[in-house]
Structure 1
Amino acid sequence: MQESGTISETEIAQFDKLAAEWWAPRGPMRALHEMNPLRATWIVDRVNRHGMVPGTLLDVGCGAGLLAEALAAKGIPVLGLDAAPAAIAAAQAHAEGRDLPLSYRLGRVEELVAEGQRFPVVTALEVIEHVPDAEAFVAALADLVVPGGLLFVSTMNRSLRALLTAKIGAEYVVRLLPRGTHDWRRFVPPKRLAAMLHTAGLRVTDSAGLSFDPMRGRWRESRDLSVNYIMAAAK
């Protein structure tokens, strides 16, 4: 199986197995369901502040469409891209009949780059930790952003706390995620992500921690980037 560049056949197979359960709020994607409103709101707020020219948003690694549908429901035209066939099929099936400005495509970022496609906003949430070559992936994402556009990337910090909570705790203790979902060695420290974005010709404009509040039972924006975090960058 291919394990180099911006795609991992092993990861694709793993997420394809989850396609039928992707939209179950209490299923294996429960954490993403609970985090999704915060992620979508954070992105839309930054896009509005930036004063972007209207256009289609590209959601890379869209899976079965959790973020793509949430953004489309806010009136943003969205193209969801993923290399996992079953996930794309699940996304299309879930969106059917909803009359949203939303479409999906099976494929890789390099294919869109080769076609010369560009977008005012590109998102890649919880994806970079699943690709073999993070630098190549960020470079390809940057190529897909128009000058003056925005790129949003979210991932997990390669910290001891992330290992204990996002990997061991989530997969083996409380079983919030299927075992083997993450490889802690591929988690990305914020400084490294910022450096990759800079190398790709982007300027970091904002970042925030995505933190779970156990008292309120929901996710909230914070300054704590030690586990889950999101970063915005302008071209």
Structure 2
Amino acid sequence: MSVVHLSAPTIDPDEVAYFERLAHRWWDAEGPFWPLHRLNAFRVDYIRRHLAASFGLDPAAERPFEGLKVLDIGCGGGILSESMARLGASVTGVEITEKNVRVAQLHAEWSSLAIDYRLGTAEDLVRGGEQFGAVLNMEVIEHVEHLPEFLADCGRLVRPGGVMFIASINRTIAAFIVAIFGAEYVLRWLPKGTHHYRKLVPPREVEALLGKDFEVKDRTGVLVNPFNRVFSYTRWMGVNYMLFMQRR
């Protein structure tokens, strides 16, 4: 495991402590991270289609991203990282919670997957001069401090012509009702305190912060059926959304 300096201004210590308490539950599909397990297949479909189209690859191939350098920022226990590795990508997962990195490494070994997991931040990778063909920034930006600096670092990690995927929650009354009050306090789908309204990020803010260097290629809303827990695409981005952007 890489040992790095974890004092970047974009890190929220409360968020680190929160996810560290839950680290041992990452691969429990019926535990507190079950929404991510359900969401993963859905977002991998989105990434697979748009990433393949961007690089002229066959999305139906068994391993369409063979050799493509992919960075999973805030990789947690490695749910998305493992999916991308199975599609052939050369995956680096960076995470600020040491327990999460250990869980991810152990599960990758158990799954016979070669994934480069690192304890650190996007800022650390920028300092190291690294760049990737695709950067995955999924369900992360609503947990960081100093969003402009964080997104600037993420942008620097995308090579020219490369792409970035961002998934997050809009800052709307609907999002508060559905994603916080409903999901955390009524349905108990997520532990209380997972999200904080003040830290939710409207997609227009993301686009404005990255607009100088990135072009938005696709945007979509995401809905979940509360009865069968099935995710679907929607043009409405009032709660959950995903953005696909390409660096100029």
Could you tell me the TM-score, scaled by structure 2's length?
0.89
The counterpart of 1:9, out of the listed 1, 4, 13, is 13
Amino acid at match of 1:211: L
Query: Among residues 72, 85, 89, which one is paired with 1:76 in the alignment?
Result: 89
The equivalent position to 1:160 in structure 2, one of 168, 173, 185, is: 173
Contact 1:5 1:131 in 2 (8 A): no
Deviation at 1:4, TM superposition (A): 7.4
Deviation of the 1:174 alpha carbon: 1.1
Structure 1 CA distance for aligned equivalents of residues 92 and 54 of structure 2: 20
Aligned mates of 1:181, 1:108 — CA distance in 2: 20
- For 1:99-149, what per-residue CA distance to the aligned partner results, in whole angstroms no more than 9, with x for missing partners? 224221110111110110000100110000000111111100000000000
Matched, 1:32 2:36: yes
Residue number in structure 2 paired with 1:234: 246
* Distance in 2 of aligned mates of 1:74 and 1:115: 26
**Paired amino acid for 2:128:** E
Aligned with 1:207: secondary structure?
A: strand
Q: Which residue of 1 aligns with 2:98?
A: 85
How much does 1:217 deviate? 3.3
Aligned residues: 233
- Aligned counterpart, 2:136: 123
CA separation of 1:216 and 1:180: change in aligned 2, threshold 3 A: closer
- Note if 1:143 corresponds to 2:156: yes
Contact 2:76 2:100 in 1 (8 A): yes
Alignment-derived partner of residue 213 in structure 1: 225
1:3–1:220 Cα change, 3 Å: farther
Distance 2:110 2:42 in 1: 25
Q: Look up the equivalent residue of 1:41 and give its one-letter code.
A: D
Q: Please tell me the root mean square deviation across aligned C-alpha atoms, in Å.
A: 1.7
Q: Deviations over 1:166-212 (max 9, x none)?
A: 0011111111111111111111111111111114x111111111211
Q: Distance in 1 between matches of 2:164 and 2:133?
A: 9
| One of 36, 45, 68 as aligned partner of 1:41 | 45
Unaligned 5+ residue runs, structure 2?
1-5, 57-64
Q: Give the Cα–Cα distance (whole angstroms) in 2 for the partners of residues 204 and 9 of structure 1.
A: 31
